Amino acid sequence: MKKTIFLALLLLPAFAVAQDVAPTPAATEQTEPAVQDVAERNKMLYSLGFLLGDNLKRQLILDNEDDYKALSQGMRDNLLNKKSQTDLDKYKPAIIQKYQNDAQIISAKREAAQQEYLANFKKEKGVKELDNGTLIKLSRAGKGKTPKADATVKVHYTGTLIDGTKFDSSRDREEAFETKLTDVIPCWTKALQQMKPGARAKVVCPANTAYGNRPVGQIPANSVLVFDIEMLPERK
């Protein structure tokens, strides 16, 4: 898990890449999709809408069905190039204020949930807290020597937020991850020095041992990260 390179599938960069790709002649000539493709296109667009909705939920607090209806109607009118039903300039300050207020509330709730998660995990049997606050719980001990701080290791891992949202996985890619311990987040540098070849562990990284206040891909700023890490045995 490099500090500067993240291998998860990222929604917004995918949009940017798509904008840079020139249409092929076949694509520009095709005006009517084949009947069998309509259902798949609808599913794709539905999925896009669902993901956009998920992104909005992370930024806004919507209290009831009327809120959702008003928001979706505004989006629908815009997408259909209809005239706005409101004076947009009049409501822009209120929109900005809502984003700011909701961001503070969402951030506070999220921080409280993360602190509760860390406190509960610390109480679990077998959990060890390292000197930088990283938490590790071995489920398989492994054999051999633990790596030094500048060693190169090969691992399989799955990374999630505390709610189980997966943001990256070498297992999904079916490709082990090889790295120097000096090239990963501090949480990994410390935790992997506690693991022997063949070991498997749950590693919980407080935000200051991971990406801190930098959002990275699907990882919001100030996120506690949870990893299922397996250190692969050395080849003989």
Ordered structural domains, the chain, with CATH:
126-231 (3.10.50.40)
Pairing outcome for strands 225-231 and 200-205? antiparallel
- The tens digit of pLDDT for each residue in 114-160 reads 999 999 999 999 999 999 999 999 999 999 999 999 999 999 999 99
Burial class (CB in 10 A: 0-12, 13-18, 19+), 208: middle
pTM of the model: 0.73
- The tens digit of pLDDT for each residue in 12-52 reads 433 433 333 333 334 444 555 555 688 888 999 999 988 88
> Where do we find the tokens 């390179």?
5
Residue 10, pLDDT score = 30
- The tens digit of pLDDT for each residue in 174-204 reads 999 999 999 999 999 999 999 999 999 999 9
**Could you give the residue numbers annotated as active site?**
157, 167-168, 185, 211, 227
